[in-house]
Structure 1
């Protein structure tokens, strides 16, 4: 095993003089010294924690149930479990994964309206009771496989302002909800609430307001004796900011005031995962194409083509399916003169497929084989749906956290309750080799470098297991 990747996946604690960017610099130098072009991702746990604190600040009434499908990296799941989120699972596999990490069954919603019977039976056996439905056939299956389930009726809402629409596939029309509730009552099933999903990357805040109003109309159906106590406002939250919080909070106060006693949950995925991951990929090949400008007296223009060690079949799979290519902004790892000429460029992934294109007509300074490009905000869906097409391995990921106050506040939970371990590694601010010795990490007693006065890297020796297999 080489020195670049730890033998177990762990968290590197950065001292006060270090940043995630400097950590990436160091990793790249190590890879270069080994003539390795292996791509890697850096997961910044502090960013993940900050996103959670931001959620609590902007939507204090809404408990997040993280959408596991968005990024099922074990480190992310363990961290969110320690922070107290719930989990939105869509299959037996996802339920099994989060349960194996110590998540309680009551903190899981089986949020898929078309479930295999065997998966429903598994949920029943594991005590996962909360699940969604939108059709009579689904109610029949639940009646047979999990008669004690606590059901949530998913309604179709206007998702025309979303980048990725879902209501054409899931959700009951408002005109059909009465019949569905009658069917549930006839089968002796318990319906506890209503859910909706406005689609991925919604651009209009009023979509949330109208959906919440629609849910209220279903809550007001009291003829069948159901006592609804849960509202699930789904996902669709941006990974960059919180533009809709004022509208959502206002609609909740109007239609589901605090004194109503209704519990409100949501299913954010992209919001948590997107900004927490950065990709580093190597320029493995380059082509220069001289294009005829077709104007007399002008010289042909250079079109640059670069090929990276990772692409849309790997970590950037979401570029192909879920992301506007204009949002992908690779940047050069090494320093660049601001006056250096930029060239129109196409950046490809490593495979032989012509759809493996990361960006097109992208202005960037001239690159060279061996350079490294960084791409931020790649944590949503890329890992979950990445492949090893053409034999290119999935990129490794490394977890880091600066010694930010939010980390110091939560590290006790992460160590004692979740079983994180930390790895000895030289300080990012130092070029001296480190002695590879094992130190047992005692929570809340971080050693201190007396010369720098800053927290140093520590090792938590597999007291309760590793972050990832």
Structure 2
């Protein structure tokens, strides 16, 4: 995990705007050549509020591995979220922001001994396990741990299945592990599962919660005090998706299996908070025209577009997270879309972002926009071949900044004021409330609007 040492800037907006508007303003300044992200902090706040509304019993413990951008983690910490950490470095990041150890679960079932010792020193006592050898290791290095047995219950379809690596069988293995833990004097306090990242099946949560109910009874019978249920991740995060359907399944299963409010329920959402909050801008720096091959029509001619970010950078998500990315030209065009492919900047032929796509003709210097790029991109990106990883330009509505400024670790010295060119706002819609479509918490207000940029840096 990369820990970014640079101070991150937040640009506070007033009036209607969208991340694409911000990208256009930055590009129009004329000095931007490297790829960059625009992070809409309002999207994170809106999703946190949606979560609390739809699943009030379930505490979100953000999966830091999804996106360890310090501003993302700080914002969720300010809102009161907990954190799913998988390593010493992630625990360091979260605790450095003032998050107490009771808001952290060390949710890696196979942990290096040195990381267990660090967690113990930091006061992080809640951790997962799924094997007998892990129990013996914990007994040696952290016998006072509050343990959570991770079981396997896979969704029928998931973007990234996880059960092939983690989770013991809830029927054949988990009861035995609960008994072993009791014999060697370890305290198991709960059950966890992860149905798979980007799960496409909703009913799997009900099955897993039913398994957990049985194991709570088994644990209590073995002498453990069971009070924690961790329902993992798998929640959708792209624009236009919702957790409403899955929340109904989870809420009903919790009421059926765990009606007592003495059981604490947490979850490990990652892409739910991160994906839609980040929009990537990448520049076309070279083109190559490939003529139609023998036997093909002239319409099958193909253009290769080379952009300044690729699969070794932000688009590692194409290889490792199985994402389907979509490119949109920053500037509208009336020209007919043509067959093309989009390639990253490195000298590796594997560095292909989109092998078959359709875009209006693009020229060197044009910019492409990729939405929903916040999940499993930034933490995995590398400067392979010497190409820089994109910087993050964070933006936030003024009324949300007013709400959060006292919660972030900020002082007056972190603020400065500036202004950049403003794209003319669209004509007002008499039926509209004036809110930005990309930020559902944006306030309505009378025209004309202008953008006010207040820059602040996290400690």
Which category describes the TM-score, using the shorter chain as reference length?
0.7 to 0.9
Q: Within 5 A, what are the aligned runs for 1:137-148? A: 137-148=133-144
Aligned length: 427
**C-alpha deviation, 1:304, in angstroms:** 1.2
State the distance in 2 between where 1:300 and 1:123 align: 60
Q: What is the Cα deviation at residue 81 of structure 1?
A: 0.3
Equivalent position of 1:361 in the other structure: 356
Distance 1:22 1:423, change over 3 A: farther
Aligned pair 1:270/2:271, yes or no?
A: yes
Matched, 1:426 2:419: yes
Inter-partner Cα distance in structure 1 for 2:423 and 2:196: 46
3-state SS of 1:409 partner: helix
* Offset at residue 15 of structure 1 (A): 1.9
The alpha-carbon distance between structure 1 residues 218 and 414, as it changes in their structure 2 partners (threshold 3 A), is same
Alpha-carbon displacement from aligned partner over 1:98-124 (angstroms, at most 9, x marks no partner): 111111111000001111111111111
Query: Residues 10 and 423 of structure 1 are in contact (CA less than 8 Å); yes or no, is this contact kept in structure 2?
Result: no
Alignment counterpart, residue 206 of structure 2, candidates 206, 209, 212: 209
For the pair 1:130 / 2:126, whether they are aligned, the reply is: yes
Q: What does residue 287 of structure 1 align with? A: 288
* Counterpart selection for 2:145 from 123, 144, 149: 149
Q: Which residue of 2 aligns with 1:308?
A: 307
* Structure 2 CA distance for partners of 1:351 and 1:198, relative to 1, 3 Å: same
Task: List per-residue Cα deviations over 1:67-92 (Å, max 9, x = no partner).
Answer: 00000000001000000000000011
Q: TM-score, normalised by structure 2?
A: 0.88
Query: Structure 1 residue 16 and structure 2 residue 15: aligned?
Result: yes
Q: Is 1:413 matched up with 2:410? A: no
| Residues 154-174 of structure 1: CA deviation (Å, up to 9, x unaligned) | 111133321211112111112
Contact 1:132 1:151 in 2 (8 A): yes
Deviates more, 1:179-188 or 1:262-271: 179-188
From the superposition, tell whether residues 419 and 144 of structure 1 become closer, same or farther in structure 2 (CA, over 3 Å): farther
Q: Distance in 2 between matches of 1:67 and 1:341?
A: 42
How far 1:454 moved relative to its partner?
A: 6.8
Distance 2:331 2:420 in 1: 20
Aligned equivalent of 1:4:
none
Task: Name whichever of 12-21 and 102-111 sits farther off.
Answer: 12-21
> Cα distance 1:97–1:367, how it changes in 2: closer, same or farther (>3 A)?
same
Mapped partners of 2:326, 2:255: distance in 1: 39
| Separation in 1, partners of 2:386, 2:449 | 47
Contact residue 17 and residue 429 of structure 1 kept, 8 A: no
Asked if the contact 2:12–2:455 (Cα under 8 Å) also holds between the matched residues in 1, the reply is no
Q: Distance in 2 between matches of 1:303 and 1:96?
A: 48
2:249 to 232, 247, 271: 247
Change in 2 beyond 3 A, CA 1:53/1:180: same
Report the counterpart of residue 436 of structure 2 in structure 1: none
Say if 1:58 and 1:406 are closer, same or farther in 2 by CA, change over 3 A.
farther
Aligned residue for 2:181, secondary structure, equals helix
1:357-392: CA deviations, max 9, x gaps?
111221110100100000011110110100111111
Check 1:353–1:254 CA distance in 2 against 1; reply closer, same or farther (3 A cut).
same
How has the CA–CA distance of structure 1 residues 237 and 293 changed in structure 2, closer, same or farther, with 3 Å as cutoff?
farther
Counterpart check, 1:467 vs 2:458: yes
CA distance in 1, matches of 2:121, 2:138: 13
Q: Distance in 2 between matches of 1:81 and 1:95?
A: 13
Residue 335 (str. 1) matches residue 332 (str. 2)? yes
Q: Is the 8 A contact 1:414 1:420 kept in 2?
A: no
2:167 aligns with: 171
How far is the alpha carbon of 1:9 from its aligned partner?
Answer: 2.3
Cα drift, residue 456 of structure 1? 3.3
Deviations 1:35-76 (A, max 9, x none): x52111111111111111111111111000000000000000
Is the counterpart of residue 372 in structure 1 residue 367 in structure 2? yes
Pair 1:90 & 2:86 matched: yes
Indicate how the Cα distance of structure 1 residues 346 and 459 shifts in structure 2: closer, same or farther if over 3 A, else same: closer
Structure 1 pair 457/139, CA: closer, same or farther in 2 (3 Å)? same
- After superposition, what is the alpha-carbon deviation per residue over 1:255-282, rounded to whole angstroms, capped at 9, x for unaligned? 111x341110000111111111011100
1:420 positional shift: 9.9
Quote the offset at 1:424 in angstroms.
2.2
Partner of 1:16, secondary structure, is: coil
Q: Does the 8 Å contact 1:415/1:421 carry over to 2?
A: no
TM-score (normalised: structure 1): 0.86
Q: What is aligned with 1:401?
A: 396
The one-character-per-residue Cα deviations of 1:391-433 (angstroms, maximum 9, x if unpaired) are 1111111111123x544433332365x99944422155289xx
RMSD of Structure 2 on Structure 1 (CA): 2.3
**How far off is 1:212 after superposition?**
0.9
Query: Contact (CA 8 Å) 1:50, 1:406: kept in 2 or not?
Result: no
Q: Extract unaligned runs of 5+ from structure 2.
A: 1-5, 425-446
* Aligned partner of 1:223 among 221, 243, 260: 221
Distance 1:320 1:255, change over 3 A: same
Indicate how the Cα distance of structure 1 residues 14 and 113 shifts in structure 2: closer, same or farther if over 3 A, else same. same
Q: Distance in 2 between matches of 1:75 and 1:55?
A: 20
